Amino acid sequence: MDKYQNIYRDMLDDIKSGKYTSGEFLPSDTKLVMKYNVSRETVRKAMVNLAHDGYVQRLKGKGTIVLDRQRVAIPMSQLKSYREVMVEGNITSTNDVLFLEENHEVPENLRIESAIDSDLMSTKLIRRRNVGGEATVIDYDYINQAVVDHLPREAAAESIFNYFEHDLGLQIDYAIKHMTIEPANQQDHKGLGVAIGSPVVVIRSETHLTDNRLLSFTESRHRADRFSNVEFSRRRN
Amino acid sequence: MDKYQNIYRDMLDDIKSGKYTSGEFLPSDTKLVMKYNVSRETVRKAMVNLAHDGYVQRLKGKGTIVLDRQRVAIPMSQLKSYREVMVEGNITSTNDVLFLEENHEVPENLRIESAIDSDLMSTKLIRRRNVGGEATVIDYDYINQAVVDHLPREAAAESIFNYFEHDLGLQIDYAIKHMTIEPANQQDHKGLGVAIGSPVVVIRSETHLTDNRLLSFTESRHRADRFSNVEFSRRRN
DNA sequence: AAGTGGTCTAGACCACACG
DNA sequence: GTGTGGTCTAGACCACTTT
């Protein structure tokens, strides 16, 4: 484990556990240098990341203060799996695999920007997510078979991100996501129980690995009345 | 100007101008060290920021490659003003000031998390944004009078962010934004021309300065059929 | 073996806040 | 003046990719 990652997690745990509450100051960089026996740049790397992720505010001349925010939802801009979001929010949800089959082509409207490889073969997976016994999201995944040749049904029923990272050792790195509001179609009506034409939040994304290989295309269709998103954003200059 | 900021902008200009196109490699860190006569950590700071912002991908052992993406839209997670987004996208838009008055209280439903200061006095500003001659957004701003005591009507008609930063010397730093989909109300109907009950994208945000002072609360109401958002997201660990 | 990016160090100087 | 965070340096070692 890298040292700065370790410090990041340590401090984040302390914030989440309430050891440091909003408005309080964290120990200064110098104190943390002594506590962890590392150089200051290493401490700074951890603290700057915490600030960037919206947990703390660095105040020049004063110190590092804990920000006031309950993370009710996890932002789109954080690339977490549905499962991870649910676990962090202490939400119980179930997961129906509606379809799983190999050797499918990726639909045109899902090819966001790049992906000129027209001969890309993928595993098509359709899942429905239920929260509180209520269907809220339908996911359509197209997983690149050049990267994942076979997806077991058990993995699809659990967390595919977890399967990719822990069982296959893939390193998921980044995604590009497009969000629009669209009228519900026949499938939304059947799967989510919403009226045809009622609003649905559609997020189309393209996920890549650290070596830049394309892992998957996904279309997530959310009931608009159950959708909520929280973003923390920092200004660049 | 800090050195790493300078390198960031230089390289970003080269990417945007097409000097380096998607799939191409940027010069290696070592080359940039020589070019700019700085230490490697300084070059890295610039490059890591470019990677974080989704412009390039750092490939260990290989180099830094330019990613393939036309920034059609600017993500919610970037804290830019409406004006800035329009300028970057080469979109022409107009701006109607519908209301401007001091000494208003901030409505309860806009006080996202913190802001317990119930005696907070603010300047209330309502604006309508038109793109292509069509009304697409209504903004309700409540600007903290303890920070900005008076907002000239001319500044409201132009860009308030620009006024805050350049005329008042304030340093805008971060915001917390909540997004939901809600049915259009009477004001949406009148201002945006949409049917009552039709979907509206509502973004409520709270903006802070670098010294952590609260600058403003904003409620932006977008026509859902004109709304689109693109996010670039990186996975943490 | 040579080149790439990732981490880490020990030290320096700066700008800012607070007594 | 002391303490805080922000920038920068010159060097080191590592893991990875390519030749």
**Rounded average pLDDT over B57-86:** 79
Does A96 lie in the same domain as A19? no
Does B32 lie in the same domain as B137? no
Note the Cα A49 to chain centre separation in Å: 17
Does B206 lie in the same domain as B166? yes
For chain A, how many structural domains are there in total?
A: 2
Q: Looking at the complex, does the CB of residue B134 fall below 8 Å from at least one CB of chain A?
A: no
Instruction: Name the percent of chain A lying above pLDDT 70.
Output: 92
What was the pLDDT predicted at B112?
57
Is pLDDT above 60 for B138?
Answer: yes
- Does any domain span residue B165? yes
d(CA A133, CA B116): 36
Task: Report H helices in chain A.
Answer: 3-16, 29-36, 40-52, 82-88, 153-157, 160-162, 186-192
Element (H, E) at B9: helix B3-16
Contact A59 B236 (CB under 8 A): no
Domain span including residue A44: 3-66
Nearest-CA residue of chain A relative to B69? A113
pLDDT band at B69 (very low <50, low <70, confident <90, very high): low
- Does any domain span residue A236? no
Q: Looking at the complex, does the CB of residue A168 fall below 8 Å from at least one CB of chain B?
A: no
| Cβ contacts from A onto B, under 8 A | 141
Instruction: Report the mean per-residue pLDDT for chain B.
Output: 88
- Does any domain span residue B47? yes
- Does any domain span residue B99? yes
Does A51 lie in the same domain as A92? no
CATH of the domain at A160: 3.40.1410.10
- Does any domain span residue A237? no
Of B97 and A107, the one with more pLDDT: B97
| Cβ burial, residue A196 (10 Å; 0-12/13-18/19+) | exposed
Does A99 lie in the same domain as A55? no
Q: Contact, B174 vs B79, CB < 8 A? A: yes
What was the pLDDT predicted at B105?
87
pLDDT band at A115 (very low <50, low <70, confident <90, very high): very low
pLDDT digits (tens, 9 = 90+) for B1-27: 899 999 999 999 999 898 999 889 999
pLDDT digits (tens, 9 = 90+) for A174-225: 988 889 999 999 999 999 999 999 999 999 999 999 888 899 999 999 999 9
- Does any domain span residue B236? no
| Helix B29-36 × helix B40-52 angle, to 10° | 120
A103 Cβ contact list (under 8 Å, min separation 6) = A121, A123, A145
Of B112 and B36, the one with more pLDDT: B36
What was the pLDDT predicted at A72?
44
Buried b (16+ CB within 10 A) or exposed e, B177-211: bbbbbbebeeebeebbebeeeebbbbbbbbbbbee
Q: How far is B78 from chain A (nearest CA, A)?
A: 5
CA dist B58 → A164, A195, B49, B77, B128 (Å): 21, 45, 11, 22, 41
**Rounded average pLDDT over A85-100:** 86
Q: Contact, B104 vs B122, CB < 8 A? A: yes
**Rounded average pLDDT over B47-57:** 92
Residues of B in contact with A54 (CB under 8 A): 174, 176
**Rounded average pLDDT over A27-34:** 97
Between residues 188 and 207 of chain A, which touch chain B (CB distance below 8 Å)? 199, 201
What was the pLDDT predicted at A111?
67
| Cβ burial, residue B120 (10 Å; 0-12/13-18/19+) | middle
Does B176 lie in the same domain as B76? yes
**Rounded average pLDDT over B168-177:** 89
Both tokens assigned to B7: 């390198």
What was the pLDDT predicted at A54?
87
Does A130 lie in the same domain as A13? no
Contact B178 A229 (CB under 8 A): yes
Q: If you measure CA to C1', which residue is closest to nucleotide D10?
A: B39
Does A114 lie in the same domain as A19? no
Range with the largest mean pLDDT of A34-48, A197-211, B218-232:
A34-48
Strand partners, B124: B101, B142
- Does any domain span residue A21? yes
Is pLDDT above 90 for B176?
Answer: no
What was the pLDDT predicted at B73?
53
Instruction: Name the percent of chain B lying above pLDDT 90.
Output: 59
Domain stops at, among B12, B35, B66:
B66
**Rounded average pLDDT over A29-51:** 97
Q: In what order do the strands lie in the sheet with B214-223?
A: A228-234, B172-183, B199-209, B214-223, B134-144, B122-131, B93-104
The residue to which tokens 């830019």 are assigned: B80
Residues lying close to strand C (Cβ under 7 A), chosen from 24-43 of chain B, are: 26, 28-31, 40-41
Does A96 lie in the same domain as A141? yes
Domain stops at, among A17, A41, A66:
A66
- Does any domain span residue B79? yes
d(CA B49, CA B234): 12
DSSP collapsed to 3 states, B138-153: EEEEEEECCCCCCCCH
CB-strand contact B44/C, under 7 Å? yes
Instruction: Report the mean per-residue pLDDT for chain A.
Output: 89
**Rounded average pLDDT over A17-29:** 93
Note the Cα B142 to chain centre separation in Å: 17
d(CA B137, CA B220): 7
pLDDT band at B72 (very low <50, low <70, confident <90, very high): very low
pLDDT digits (tens, 9 = 90+) for B181-208: 999 999 999 999 999 999 999 999 999 9
Which of B77, B224, B234 is facing A199, going by the closest CB pair?
A: B224
Of B38 and B131, the one with more pLDDT: B38
CB-strand contact A40/C, under 7 Å? yes
Q: Looking at the complex, does the CB of residue A21 fall below 8 Å from at least one CB of chain B?
A: no
What was the pLDDT predicted at B25?
96
Does A95 lie in the same domain as A126? yes
Is pLDDT above 60 for B71?
Answer: no
Q: How far is A1 from chain B (nearest CA, A)?
A: 11
The secondary structure of residue A187, as a DSSP letter, is H
**Rounded average pLDDT over B141-160:** 93
Q: How far is A122 from chain B (nearest CA, A)?
A: 21
CATH of the domain at B31: 1.10.10.10
By DSSP bridging, strand B214-223 and strand B199-209 are antiparallel
Does B76 lie in the same domain as B61? no
What was the pLDDT predicted at A142?
95
The residue to which tokens 């004006």 are assigned: B83
Does B204 lie in the same domain as B139? yes
Domain stops at, among B66, B81, B110:
B66
Give nearest nucleotide to B64 (CA–C1'): C5
